[in-house]
Amino acid sequence: MKQDQFLTVIDRDLAESRWRSALDFGPLDTERVSISEALGRVLAQSVRAEVDVPAFDRSNMDGFAVRAEDTYGVSEENPICLELNSEILATGKKPMQIVQRGTATTIATGGMLPRGADSVVPVEFTDVDSSNSLLVRKPCVPGSAVSYAGTDIGRGETVLFSGTRLSSRETGVLAAIGCAEVEVVRKPRVAIISTGNEIFTPGTPLEMGGVYDSNGRILGDAVKELGAEAKFIGVFRDDEELLTRAVSEALSDADVVLLSGGTSKGQGDLNAKIVGSLEPGIIVHGVALKPGKPICLAVSGKTPVVVLPGFPTSAVFTFHEFVAPLIRELAGLGPERRQEISAKLAITTQSERGRLEYLLVGLVENDSGDLSAYPMGKGSGSVTSFSRADGFVRIGRNVELVTSQSDVNVTLIGGDRRPSDLVIIGSHCVGLDVIASAISSRGFTVKLFAVGSQAGLAAAERGECDLAPIHLLDPESGEYNNPFVRGDKLLLIKGYRRMQGILTRPDESREFSELLEDQSLRMVNRNRGSGTRIVIEKILKGLKPAGYDYEPRSHYAVAAAIAQGRADWGVAIETVASQSGLKFQSLSAERYDFAVPKARWNRPPVAVLRSVLETDEKVRKKLKNLGFLFD
């Protein structure tokens, strides 16, 4: 049976333009709320003060209300003596006595300035003698230590403008002018539906081939971050009747309806079929965009309906590209201001001609202050790529290759790029997670890029990281790591030893040599540039068994491929084999050490890392329990 394809794949900007032209919307209607409920809301009307703030002339400190002219010319050596009035002006007390020439009145911070006085002399520049007279040892000018009525806010002044999103600063202003209620834009209501036979609700048992629904949570919280209300309708299997009812329920109350995922039947997109039956229905199905090509933009009456791709990174990215701006407008907010900065692309990246690609990157700073952008490289199915990225690079539709060290413009995600205290680029290990967690618990922020030993070493030589975890075997000397850090740029921190070996399923009884002889068996390799790949090439001696080109980027991915039957053997560390319930045949012990640029050796987080490895017995015990050994 012929599979249905996208209706028409069009340019990203054209897609948005067509969809927007089919919508008739603006900021939603308004409602009046108390200021106790106003935090995060958007003002629908400007707010004017009906009182002065402060409402009276008040003292800014404890002291004495005086006539400034009475203090002219005084000094420590030549103080003046004023008659002290009997009245004491605490806060909230209305003055009854006038400050006449040659007199003063005791006043507290925040107290109302009495008639006749025009300044306050601080208590520390005065003395009261036994006859209850006030000695003033410092002159003051009119207005000294006084806030006049209306100095902060004047009656009739506009204090907040419509369209302002209320933070604690603005709600404080509202309270200061006595405003108990404000008119705000109603929160947009966004309904969210997760779909797919493979989708399972978190907390339920996960069957083989299934994945937990992360899109529902990601989208719901992203909607809340925009100040809207999120209503999660639920997780639905690929059942046309159930999905039709779910969409109908969503449309009954929502201002925007979002679906994510689709069918696993391979006979077209069930969500698109249901959305296509709406009126006017689908406006765009398929955008020349990566990630996010399958996005479906539709309308039901005046309600936007969007089918987002099922893969998490694609879903989040297309949400922020197409849906978030719409929600901001419904909420009465202006467009998001996105900051761009320049960087060098750290790793050569291929792109698909014909699609605008948004490449998620993490940013690191070298010793010269220049930025390098590292592609996150986990694909649109990754749950973590968007959360860990600092920004993204736009790769044009007609570009197939962006080489390493090319100049790129990075659009920041969130608009705030704070450098991490400790940047780690290199080979990943479960032991590294333990170490990084210990450093993080000491108050340092940690950023980690798992790019392999050789790429990490190159990053360290360029001064782009504080730490490059490596396990590189020198074939000539048989020595790990030391031969690769000779020179004047890098130093080596000794880490630990770990055992590399052959992983198979528990029922496999043959030795490695026998596995190689069996042509029906499939291996799982490791990515080029990793330290484990060097070990694999050494034991294969030029052979390329079935599966040789299957190159996942982590020990855990190797173990998963074997455990799930997609491969029969591979090379990984003993710790991962044990955690995955796989059989392990030892090959050799290797060193997992840390290359550090000399210029960064004494940085506080690097010093803490050295201390953790050398003296922190809790961390060393955790590493030993994972099967790692120290010299």
d(CA 570, CA 551): 10
d(CA 559, CA 148): 74
pLDDT in tens, 426-465: 998 999 999 999 999 999 989 888 888 998 999 999 899 9
pLDDT class of 284 with cuts at 50, 70, 90: very high
Mean of pLDDT values over 13-24: 90
Instruction: Tell me whether strands 356-365 and 349-350 are parallel, antiparallel or unpaired.
Output: unpaired
Q: Residue ranges of the alpha helices (H) in 208-361?
A: 215-225, 240-251, 270-276, 312-318, 324-330
Instruction: Tell me whether strands 407-412 and 391-395 are parallel, antiparallel or unpaired.
Output: antiparallel
Higher pLDDT, 631 or 184: 184
Q: Residue 165 pLDDT > 80, yes or no?
A: yes
How many Cβ atoms are within 10 Å of 344's Cβ, its own excluded?
A: 16
Which of the residue ranges 340-344, 417-421, 491-495 has the most confident prediction, judged by mean pLDDT?
491-495
pLDDT class of 245 with cuts at 50, 70, 90: very high
Mean of pLDDT values over 541-548: 93
Q: Residue 145 pLDDT > 50, yes or no?
A: yes
Closest by Cα among 287, 243, 288 to 262: 243
Closest by Cα among 469, 460, 463 to 435: 469
Lowest model confidence (mean pLDDT) among 21-30, 508-517, 534-543, 545-554 = 21-30
Following CA atoms 73, 74, 80, 83 in sequence, which dihedral angle do they give, to the nearest 10 degrees?
80
pLDDT in tens, 218-234: 999 999 999 899 999 99
pLDDT class of 570 with cuts at 50, 70, 90: very high
Omega cis (within 30) before 604: no
Instruction: Tell me whether strands 229-236 and 303-308 are parallel, antiparallel or unpaired.
Output: unpaired
pLDDT class of 265 with cuts at 50, 70, 90: very low
pLDDT for 353 equals: 81
Q: What is the rounded average pLDDT for all residues in the chain?
A: 89
Q: Residue 547 pLDDT > 80, yes or no?
A: yes
pLDDT for 631 equals: 82
pLDDT for 416 equals: 60
Inter-residue contact 577 to 559 (CB < 8 Å):
yes
pLDDT for 314 equals: 87
pLDDT for 238 equals: 87
Which of the residue ranges 247-251, 307-311, 334-338 has the most confident prediction, judged by mean pLDDT?
247-251
Tell me the percentage of the chain whose pLDDT exceeds 90.
Answer: 63
Higher pLDDT, 114 or 271: 114
Kindly report the backbone phi and psi dihedral angles of residue 604, in degrees, each rounded to the nearest multiple of 5, phi listed first.
-50, -45
Beta-bridged to residue 136, according to DSSP, are: 80, 126
Q: How far, CA to CA in Å, does 429 sit from each of 74, 265, 389, 395, 435?
A: 75, 38, 20, 32, 10
pLDDT for 537 equals: 92
Mean of pLDDT values over 51-55: 90
Q: Residue 3 pLDDT > 50, yes or no?
A: no
Q: Residue 379 pLDDT > 90, yes or no?
A: no
Inter-residue contact 489 to 468 (CB < 8 Å):
no
pLDDT in tens, 477-526: 889 999 999 778 899 999 999 999 999 999 999 999 999 999 999 999 99
Domains along the chain with CATH numbers: 12-26+187-330 (3.40.980.10), 30-53+152-185 (3.90.105.10), 58-147 (2.170.190.11), 340-412 (2.40.340.10), 420-631 (3.40.190.290)
pLDDT for 530 equals: 83
